[in-house]
Amino acid sequence: MVAKSSFLVPLWSGLMHLLPVHDSAQAVLLRETGRYETPQTLTDGRRWSSFARDLAAGNPALDPSVTLTFLHEAPKSAISGLQTALRQRLMHDEREGLRLLDPAHRSSFGGREVCDGGSLRWKRVMASRLAQDHDLETAFQRQDCTEALSGKAP
């Protein structure tokens, strides 16, 4: 038994350098690409649409802190597609979607900007759903989204 364990440890240690090392706050495994991606690799490879599809589909690797980090580093050319993905996520699961929105009032990815861009049908459905949500954790995001849906001025 000692011989096996003493053999496996050096073998595993020798293979570790072959695996990519990622800081979980800086890289995320996307289902779409099957690769670990950072904001820079998404920009370099023009793969922000892959990130948007994972965002809309609810990839569990995209928790709110990781998502906001990525969104804040997105190029201007990707903002519209990412806002659309956030609207799709809200439609699928409004509570989780609200958690992914930026709580800052003047953000491109905050409730006001994201919810203001939806279709009339989407806005009606979301207004009804958000009226039933009372989660304190997402109060700022919900308020901004609700104000945008009702057409209230900022």
Contacts of residue 57, Cβ cutoff 8 Å, sequence gap at least 6: 31
Average pLDDT (118-134) is 93
Indicate yes or no: pTM above 0.85: no
The number of residues in the chain equals: 154
Flag whether pLDDT at 15 surpasses 90: no
Q: How many CB atoms lie under 10 A from the CB of residue 139?
A: 13
The band of 7, judged by pLDDT with boundaries at 50, 70 and 90, is very low
pLDDT in tens, 50-107: 999 999 999 888 888 889 999 999 999 999 999 999 999 999 999 999 999 999 888 9
Which conformational region is residue 82 in: left (phi greater than 0), alpha (psi within -120 to 50 degrees), or beta?
A: alpha
Q: How many CB atoms lie under 10 A from the CB of residue 153?
A: 4
pLDDT in tens, 130-149: 999 888 999 999 999 999 99
